[in-house]
Amino acid sequence: MRIGVFVCHCGSNIAGTVDVAELAKRALTLKDVVYSDHPMYTCSEPGQAGIQQAIKDKKLDRVVVSACSPHMHEQTFRRTVEGAGMNPYLMEMANIREHCSWIHPDMAEGTEKAWEIIKMAVAKARQLEPLYANEVSVNKDVLIIGGGVAGIQAALDLADAGLKVTIVEKETTIGGTMAKLDKTFPTIDCSACILTPRMVDCSQHENITLMTYSEVEKVSGYVGNFTVDIRRKAAMVDWNKCVGCDVCVQKCPAKAPNLFDEGLEPTKAIYIPFPQAVPKRAAIQVDYCRYFQTGKCKVCERVCPAGAIDYEQKDTSVTKEFGAIVVATGLEVFPWEEHYSEYGGGKIKDVISGLQYERMLNASGPYGGHVRRMSDGADPKTVVFIQCVGSRDESVNRPYCSSVCCMYTAKQALLTKDHCGMDTDVYVFYIDIRATGKGYEEFIKRVQTEFGVKYVRGRVSKLYEQDGKVMVRGTDTLLGEQVEIPADLVVLASGIQPADGAKQLAQTLNISYDEFGFMKEGHPKLRPVETNTAGVFLAGVCQAPKDIPATVAQASGTASKVIGLLAKDKLKTSPQIAVVNQKNCVSCWKCIEVCPFSAPEKQELRDGTYKSHVIETVCQGCGICVATCPVNTIELKGFTTDAILDQIEEVLQSQL
């Protein structure tokens, strides 16, 4: 065996705290190591060329790259050695950056640990064997979970590229949060005017299937071949007959909370969220329906001209196959009422959230676009905005910036002046103004100078009611003094968080998420729309807070990645999978019991006996069966028991 070891400087990232030249020298003392080097940047063009040259000149048959995490560059170096004619699975990485140089500031300590990491990698390299990828065919249909602007953009891009797309949306209409917005910053474009034509495009596109009022229940399979169970919730209305005429909504006698209007005013138990809904179909909120609660009413059934009401309707389930999945589940508003008792905890009527104010401003909202006090309906003369409510606040476990509030607050402040008159007093309490997008800073300046919105730097400590006003008590940290403003209406720039159920969905899809439920991208810089589960992609706020331009850009980025994936007719599968040595198999079928993917099967041999056999293209290489097999006759390629034990032995050599 002829092993080559390459110890990367990574500039000063590794060489700053690890003596790479010394390690390259020491590596030559290891058994089977015939060549070593310490390139400045191993992943650079000359670095990779150096490896390829050494493979040829020194006739290397194993390569150990001692550099960064395999999550960073394993693929890179596999391609490198493959380029020199070596099997890519004969390359092993020693992670001496993330797991060593970056966490151990002491040179002597770092070098000694790196030395052991390299020895372990060499021990593993000796156990490597050439592996060859299989190919599977690819289903070219795409599932998009979430029908907000991210899902819509991705769907249209994919459908235009000729792929069949299914959008699954949990509400009765697509549109998401953007459909609730009145205007968008910094252009003050009408949100609906931009979005609703795209919603209609989705419903009319021959390649797009809309499944609204539906949820993803179960996902199995793998990249190129996912099987997904989708549950259609019972709307109690036959949508094939319903034409969205709204008569039932007008006649329904029962009130229900209006979630689309953020609870400002109630809607009816049978409802259509908003006039431009796509599809424009009615649904019954059973918990509020008089018929379902008391057994009497049936007004909607009597008035429906299409005969669409169906009180017997049940949830239905469909199973569909997809090649790729895009998650675009978006956001919900931080539930500030539960966390900010100093702001009244939701008990002061004239304190509302930013998204509620958005509905108030909207012409198709509950007040026809008329800004009013919630307590008495009067026109407000003084409006106060408070930023960072549920953002940048560790006391409520929301340390992150919601990224959109500075800008939407400025927009709403401008619209307040526009709706209520320029003589209205408008204040904004802020910590910092974050206006980093194109034209954003200019917009803030315009709001401050042209519209005379007064920005006060400081936090508001308390809101309380006095003489029909909401008293806003805070500090102006620039002037260093207490301020108290009697306001008619207070709007909280409530932060955003992942949509309800995002964590459960992430678990269903086997993708990672952070403590807040934002889903984790493959790499923050290099794989921003992929997840670590092949074939599952991200778009929009489900990944991190972002505004509409960034969401749309990410959705298009995701679409292009999906198109790239599905442009191939066959996909290579990882050969690092489980293989049964049938000679020792005792046919206990424990492997079949534990496999989450149904990869092992009973295979009939010539003598009529049955032994376990792992289907190569189904196996995902987890190795659960390997550790379960009572006679140790299943081996996991690339992570063999011998390789693991050799690493343990190597690192403990000097212990006893």
Partner 1 sequence: MAEATNNQASGAATTGAAPGGAGAPDRPVKVVGIVCNWCSYAGADTAGVGRFKQPANLRLIRVPCTGRIDPLFALKAFEKGADGVLISGCHPGDCHYSEGNYYARRKFELAERMIHHLGIPPERFKWTWVSASEGQRWQKVVTEFVAGVQKLGPREGKAL
User: Does 104 contact partner 1 by CB under 8 A?
Assistant: yes
Binding mask 114-133 for partner 1 (x = CB under 8 A): --xx--x-------------
Among 41, 84, 102, 238, which residue interacts with partner 1 (rule: CB under 8 A)?
Answer: 102
Stretch that binds partner 1, among 101-109, 241-249, 327-335, 555-563 (CB under 8 A): 101-109
User: Does 627 contact partner 1 by CB under 8 A?
Assistant: yes
User: Does 621 contact partner 1 by CB under 8 A?
Assistant: yes
What whole-number distance in Å separates Cα of residue 232 and Cα of residue 238? 12
Q: Which residue's CB is nearer to partner 1, number 166 or number 620? A: 620
- What is the residue whose two structure tokens read 């329904």? 252
CA distances from 311 to 131, 231, 315, 536 (A): 59, 18, 12, 37
CA distances from 465 to 183, 339, 363, 405, 481 (A): 30, 19, 29, 25, 22
Among 46, 130, 162, 596, which residue interacts with partner 1 (rule: CB under 8 A)?
Answer: 596
User: Does 576 contact partner 1 by CB under 8 A?
Assistant: yes
> In this structure, how many other beta carbons lie within 10 angstroms of the beta carbon of residue 317?
11
In sequence order, what are the residues at sequence separation of 6 or more whose Cβ sits closer than 8 angstroms to the Cβ of residue 135? 570, 571, 572, 573, 617
CA distances from 268 to 190, 283, 286, 290, 358 (A): 27, 10, 11, 11, 21
User: Does 498 contact partner 1 by CB under 8 A?
Assistant: no
Q: Which residue's CB is nearer to partner 1, number 481 or number 515? A: 515
What whole-number distance in Å separates Cα of residue 384 and Cα of residue 425? 8
Binding mask 80-99 for partner 1 (x = CB under 8 A): ---------------x-xxx
Stretch that binds partner 1, among 164-172, 368-376, 415-423, 507-515 (CB under 8 A): 507-515
Q: Which residue's CB is nearer to partner 1, number 336 or number 513? A: 513
User: Does 225 contact partner 1 by CB under 8 A?
Assistant: no
What whole-number distance in Å separates Cα of residue 381 and Cα of residue 486? 10
- Which of 331, 158, 325 is closest to 230 using CA atoms? 325
User: Does 599 contact partner 1 by CB under 8 A?
Assistant: no
User: Does 327 contact partner 1 by CB under 8 A?
Assistant: no
In sequence order, what are the residues at sequence separation of 6 or more whose Cβ sits closer than 8 angstroms to the Cβ of residue 495? 333, 334, 388, 389, 390, 391, 398, 402, 405, 545
User: Does 515 contact partner 1 by CB under 8 A?
Assistant: yes
Bridging pattern class, strands 324-327 and 536-538: parallel
Q: Which residue's CB is nearer to partner 1, number 89 or number 340? A: 89
Among 227, 276, 313, 510, which residue interacts with partner 1 (rule: CB under 8 A)?
Answer: 510
Minimum gap (Å) between residue 339 Cβ and partner 1: 23
Among 594, 603, 615, 617, which residue interacts with partner 1 (rule: CB under 8 A)?
Answer: 594
Stretch that binds partner 1, among 102-110, 276-284, 332-340, 491-499 (CB under 8 A): 102-110
Minimum gap (Å) between residue 638 Cβ and partner 1: 8
What whole-number distance in Å separates Cα of residue 458 and Cα of residue 481? 10
The residues pairing with 470 across neighbouring beta strands, listed in sequence order, are: 465, 487
> In this structure, how many other beta carbons lie within 10 angstroms of the beta carbon of residue 617?
15
Among 9, 62, 113, 419, which residue interacts with partner 1 (rule: CB under 8 A)?
Answer: 113
The residues pairing with 322 across neighbouring beta strands, listed in sequence order, are: 226
Minimum gap (Å) between residue 621 Cβ and partner 1: 6
User: Does 112 contact partner 1 by CB under 8 A?
Assistant: yes
Radius of gyration over alpha carbons of the chain, in Å?
30
CA distances from 132 to 55, 87, 90, 342, 622 (A): 20, 8, 11, 63, 18
Total of residues contacting partner 1 (CB under 8 A): 55
- Which of 211, 193, 194, 214 is closest to 203 using CA atoms? 211
* Contact positions with partner 1 (CB under 8 A) in 41-70: 69-70
Binding mask 634-653 for partner 1 (x = CB under 8 A): --x--x-x--xx-xxx-xx-
Minimum gap (Å) between residue 56 Cβ and partner 1: 29
Burial class (CB in 10 A: 0-12, 13-18, 19+), 566: buried
Burial class (CB in 10 A: 0-12, 13-18, 19+), 230: buried
User: Does 276 contact partner 1 by CB under 8 A?
Assistant: no
User: Does 620 contact partner 1 by CB under 8 A?
Assistant: yes
User: Does 109 contact partner 1 by CB under 8 A?
Assistant: yes
Q: Omega of the bond prior to 70 within 30 degrees of 0, cis?
A: no
Binding site for partner 1 (CB under 8 A): 69-72, 95, 97-100, 102-106, 109-110, 112-113, 116-117, 120, 506-507, 510, 512-515, 520, 532-533, 576, 594, 596-597, 620-624, 626-628, 636, 639, 641, 644-645, 647-649, 651-652, 655-656
